Structures are given as C-alpha cells and as structure tokens.
Structure 1
C-alpha cells in the first residue's frame, strides 16, 4: 500500500511539475524583459526548485565518451557483455590498438547495490580507464525485474560474482566499493575453498562493512536498533502495476533516499538554498555542479526484499562473516582459505558510513594469506565517497591501488599453472 500511495502522489504532482517547468521556461526566456530582473530570476529559481524537489530521478547515463590513455585520445563505449535478470556486466571498450590494451590489467569494478545506480562510480571508472581495462556490474532496479525471474538474495549475489570472475578465467583484478565488499570477499573465499583456478589476480576492498562491529556508525546503529521483523513489516512493500516487477517484494528506493537525506538533512537544505541564490545571481557554474551531483544522488533504485533483509541480518545484526558463521547455500564461507589472492583494503579517515577498521578486518580474517600479499591504506581527509571518487582518490588512493594491482599482475597466471601441474 505504501508504494501505491507514493505512485499516487507522483501522479497527482505531475500536472504541477509540468506547469512549473513551462512557467520556468517563460521566466528564463531572454525575449521576456522580466527574465533580466531579480523578480524574474527569482521566479524561475523557485519554479526549478519545486520541479527538482518533486521529480522522480531516472537512472543517469555514464557520459564517458573519451579517455586519454598511453598518449592517445580514444573513444569509449559501454557495452553489455553479459546480461542477467538482476545485473548487466558492462565493459567500457576503449578504441585503442590491441597491443596497447593487452598491457593494461583487467579490472572488475563491483558497484554497490545499496540504493544508488552503478553510475555513482562514474568518477571511479573515468579515473581507472587510462591505465585499466574496466568492467562494471550494473545492477538493475528490482521494480523492472519480472517475478518470473525468481528471487534475488545475498546468496544469489555471491553466485553472480563467482560467475563473473570465472568468466575472466583468472585474468582480472576485482575491486569492490562499499556494500559489495562482503559478497566479493565471500565469493573469493568460496572459490579458494573449492580450489577454483579462476580466482582473481588480486582483490581490493574499499570502505565496506566486513566487520560492522568496529567503529559503528549511525548506519550500523540504525540497522541494529530494531528487530528484523520491524524491517520486514515497515519498509518492505510490493511493486505496483504497471511496472514489470509488479507484486515483487522490495525495499523501495524512495525510502532509501529518505534515509540518505535524513542523515545529513541540514547539509542538503543548505545546498538547495545555495542553488536558489546561485540561480538568482546567475552563477551558472555553481548551479550546474549542484544539478550534476543531485541528479546522481537523488536517482535511486528498488532492492529485492530477500537481498535487503538477508544483508541486514547477516552483515549488520549477526556479523556472521567475521564470526565465522556465514554460509552460502549451506557451505561455510571461510576467509582463511584465501591463499592465492593478494588483498588490499582502503578506508577513509572521515567515513561516517563505514567506520575505521570495518574493511581492514578482512586482512585479519585472511589468516592463510602471507603478509607480503596484504596491504592497507587509510586515507586522511576523506569521507565515504572520497574513498572512491574525487581528487584524493585520483591523486593519492588510486596510485597505490594501481601499484598493488601491477605488482600482482602475474600472480593469477602463475598460480593457475601451479594448480594445473598439481592436478
């Protein structure tokens, strides 16, 4: 019923949004003398704020058209190389000579499935492309997945990661950002336990809740402040008709967005007030930056109820992975089995979503991995998003990640040959 009320509200506001956009264009038309006055600019600014505040934001585009790599400017084209019901594996193909491309390590960038779309990592992809052959998991909004596709939970998520990694035949480095650190870590642990020759060359875990008991944040406290039954009864609802996924149980994106906004409400109010003043003053650059950020931030997707509830229970409530109690389809997830995959963890000193030590805990759990194959980096001066995006990531974090990957570029093929001899 909650989702239906939300859709009814969206439909009811549609005429008002259309009218606001029409009047905004009138007030901004340079042929209108009032558009050059404070009153005209103020009216246009108010109408834009209304339209943007009531709009449902759609999935953003990647908007990565070119890259400068190895002294050449090359076109970039995102191509879906594997399509599954809940995820597309997207390859950012660079139009470079094959001999040049082969020198760059392949990277599987596992995007978060935590409300925002994979395009949240646009900056990460853009910064990786000059020196890496990049693939990204593009998770699909659950409201567009028909019920006939079946359920999707944390176990299925891990299945997807294992399938993707196996498809590279061991010739890939995997990088997980935030939420997927747990399923990626679990997937590699399971592959190691099975002696799978297709394990990745290295694994980089960034700002993720491997052990949410350490330095708990407001997000962690929210997840543990209520029983699982409360989440099931209060935040899970059915997708309404006419979406392809109608009647599928989901944790809707608009509820996730309200949580995102509530965490830093004062900052978001201030940002929109600044937008209003920038529009009146004619500061187009500042207004454009605001639109770019919030077009991404306010675009959210629905999550499968099974996945959301299992993640809340396994990762945040019962801490099954660090306690050695996590199972995948009945099989124990044992990180101590990781012996062939070098591991690097990255955290942000000011991270208010994933506390310090939560990601580094992965290194402690890999008791079978020698210290020479472990690395950790704590970045000063960055919060959660700064760990994987922005100037600090580009200039301070990424060089260390790049160095780590290249140091272990031959790791996978060597171990694979050893395994083949043993077999």
Structure 2
C-alpha cells in the first residue's frame, strides 16, 4: 500500500515539476523577454531547483563521451558486453583508432564492481572517468528490480557472487585483469575471487576492496548496529513491499527506492543537501561548467533503485547479523567461501578515516582472511579525513585514492 501511495504522490507533484522546469527555461532562454529582467538568472536557478524536487528517479546515463590523451580529445566507446536479467556488464574504452594501437595494447582491464546497496552504478561515474585515462573499464550495471519480471526468478546474494564470477570469466581474455569492489560489493567480490581460486580457475591480477563490510563487527557504524539490533522478520515486515502494476516487475517483492533514499539521507543527513546547495550557488554565480558537474553528482545521489527483497534480506543476515565471511562459514551454492585459497592475486584494501558507513578495520579484515597471499602482495591504505563517499568521488579520490590504485594496476605494464 505504501508503494502505491508514493506513486500517487509522485504523479500529483509531476505537473508542478513540469511547470517549474518550464519557468526555469523561460528565465534562462535569451530569446525570451523574461530573461532580460534584472535577476533573471536567479529566478531561473530557483525554479530549476524547484523542478528537481519532483524529478523522476530514472537512472541517468554515464555520459562519458571522451577523454584527453596526450593533449588530444579521444572519443570513448561504451558498450554492453553481457546482459543478464538483473545486471548488465558495461565496457568503456577509448576509441582504439583514435588512440593508436600502441597505447591501446598497454591498457590493463579493470572490473569495477558497483555496490547493490541503493544507488545505481552511475554513482561511480567519476571512478570510471578517472580510470579511463589509462585503463579499459568494465562496470557492473545493476538493473532496478522493479523492472525485472517475476518470471525471471529471484535474486539472492549468492547470485551476485556467481554473476561476478561470470563477468570475470567473460573479461578473462584481457590480461591482466584487476577487480575494484566498492562498499557492499566488497563482500561478494572477495567471495567470487575466492571461489575461482578454490577451483583453480584463472584469478584477477589484483583485488582492490574499498570501504566495505568484510567484517562488520569491527568499529560498527550506525548502519551495522541497526541491522544487528533488528530481527530479520522486522526488516521483512517493515521494509519489503510489492512492486505495483505499472512496472515490468509488478508483483515482485522489493526493498523500494524511496525507503532506501530516506535511509541514505538519514545516514548522511547533510550530504545531499550540501550537494544541491553547492549546485545552486555555482549556477546562480554563472559557473555553468562547475554547476553541470555538480548536477551530475546530485543526479547520481538521487538515482536509487529497488532491490530484490531476497537479496536485501540475505545481505542483512549473512553480512551484518551472522558475519559468515568473517566466521569462515559462508557457503555459496553449496561451496564454502575460502579466501585463504587466494594466492596469485595481489590485495589492496582502502578505508576512509571518517567513514560513517563502513567503519575502520572492516575492510582491512580481508588481510587476515586472505592468509594465502604473500605479505609482499598485500597493502592497506587509510585515507585521512575521508568519509565514505570521498573514497570514490571528489578531491581525495583523485589525489589520494586513485594514485595508489594506479600504482598497483600499472605494476606489470
């Protein structure tokens, strides 16, 4: 019933949002007389902000059209490599013709495992754009569960792991391959690489885990404490709803996006407001290039998908209540996850000193679990004065986090 009510509310607000968008256009269109009145750009900015209150939660595109290489603008080719019911594997690479054969062949491949924890993968746009300077980039682009028909079956945490295994095998023709997993994705990524190692299958050259709950018992945050303090039945009764009839996934049980967005805003109360305020100030000041970059950030924060109920409940139970990976007691489709079997993969863990989502030590816990990796092939970084979102966006990502990743991924080139 709540899902239907939110849909009605969104539909009621839609005409107002359209009106505000049209008003913003009128005040900013140089051919419209309204744009000539004093303070027109301020009116345009104000109405544009009002229209954003009613914007749809549709996923924005990555929109990475080109990169700069040796002083030249090189087009970027985006393609869907593999398409499954719940995820698409995207590939981003500079146009090899424009780049030249020599530069194309020296680029290592990186699989960016986007978290399935609310935001769409486009939230990692800055990560993809930065990596593209010297890498071929693959991204797990998770599908909104409300768009997946019920006939396609359920999606569990185990399925996330097996999807990552399939993607690693798919990319396996490109050598070397490096895997970067962020936030929630760190847990299934470590499991996927562990299972590949246990089966003596080719493993990635390196595994980079960033700000994730490998062992959520360490420095527990409000997110982890909330999950541990409530029963699985509580989550099922209060957070799981049925997708209404207007969507392809009608009838599917999900943790809906509007509840997730409310939870994300509660966990980081000032983040979204500060982003929109900065966007408003830059647009009002006439710095449209900077404002456009901030708009993409705001759209990324706002773009939240529905999660399959079984996946969400599995994550609560396995990761935040029973800590199965840390207890060496996690079976994925009948196979025990054994991080100690990883030997040929280098490990880099990265944490933010002020991460309010995954506390300090939670990601570093992977070092003790991956005891088969030689000490010389393990490294840990703690970024000072760094929050959760700083790990993959903004100044600290570009100046502190990425250089450490680059050193690892370019080591063999």
TM-score above 0.5, yes or no: yes
Residue 203 of structure 2: aligned partner: 199
* 2:120 is aligned with 1:117: yes
**2:253 pairs with one of 249, 257, 267:** 249
Structure-to-structure mapping, 1:20-99, within 5 angstroms: 20-30=20-30, 31-32=32-33, 36-38=37-39, 44-69=44-69, 72-96=72-96, 97-99=100-102
CA contact (8 A) 2:150 2:251 kept: yes
* 2:22 is aligned with 1:18: no
> Could you say what secondary structure the match of 2:410 adopts?
helix
> Could you say what secondary structure the match of 2:225 adopts?
helix
Q: CA deviation at 1:176?
A: 0.7
Residue 173 of structure 1: aligned partner: 178
Q: CA deviation at 1:352?
A: 1.4
> Could you say what secondary structure the match of 1:179 adopts?
helix
Instruction: Quote the Cα distance in structure 2 between the aligned partners of 1:3 and 1:35.
Output: 44
Residue 151 of structure 1: aligned partner: 154
Q: CA deviation at 1:285?
A: 5.8
Instruction: Quote the Cα distance in structure 2 between the aligned partners of 1:322 and 1:270.
Output: 36
Q: CA deviation at 1:229?
A: 0.7
Instruction: Quote the Cα distance in structure 2 between the aligned partners of 1:177 and 1:143.
Output: 23
Instruction: Quote the Cα distance in structure 2 between the aligned partners of 1:143 and 1:269.
Output: 27
Q: CA deviation at 1:50?
A: 2.6
Residue 394 of structure 1: aligned partner: 398
CA 1:51–1:256 in 2, change beyond 3 Å: closer, same or farther? same
CA 1:248–1:107 in 2, change beyond 3 Å: closer, same or farther? same
Compare 173-182 and 381-390 and name the one that shifted more: 381-390
**1:210 pairs with one of 211, 214, 220:** 214
* 2:194 is aligned with 1:189: yes
Q: CA deviation at 1:167?
A: 1.9
Instruction: Quote the Cα distance in structure 1 between the aligned partners of 2:206 and 2:337.
Output: 19
Instruction: Quote the Cα distance in structure 2 between the aligned partners of 1:376 and 1:144.
Output: 39
Q: CA deviation at 1:23?
A: 3.4
Give CA deviations for 1:353-403 in whole Å, capped at 9, x if unaligned. Answer: 111111110011112221011111111232112212223222222222122
CA 1:162–1:290 in 2, change beyond 3 Å: closer, same or farther? closer
CA contact (8 A) 1:202 1:408 kept: no
Give CA deviations for 1:97-151 in whole Å, capped at 9, x if unaligned. Answer: 3332221111111111111111111111111112111111111111111111111
CA 1:22–1:69 in 2, change beyond 3 Å: closer, same or farther? closer
* 2:137 is aligned with 1:137: no
Residue ranges of structure 1 left out of the alignment (5+ in a row) = 410-423
CA 1:33–1:183 in 2, change beyond 3 Å: closer, same or farther? closer
Residue 296 of structure 2: aligned partner: 292
Give CA deviations for 1:278-333 in whole Å, capped at 9, x if unaligned. Answer: 66665656654542321111111111111111011111111111011111112211
* 2:344 is aligned with 1:340: yes
CA 1:386–1:267 in 2, change beyond 3 Å: closer, same or farther? closer
> Could you say what secondary structure the match of 1:383 adopts?
coil
CA RMSD, Structure 1 to Structure 2 (Å): 2.3
Instruction: Quote the Cα distance in structure 2 between the aligned partners of 1:274 and 1:114.
Output: 25
**2:238 pairs with one of 210, 229, 234:** 234
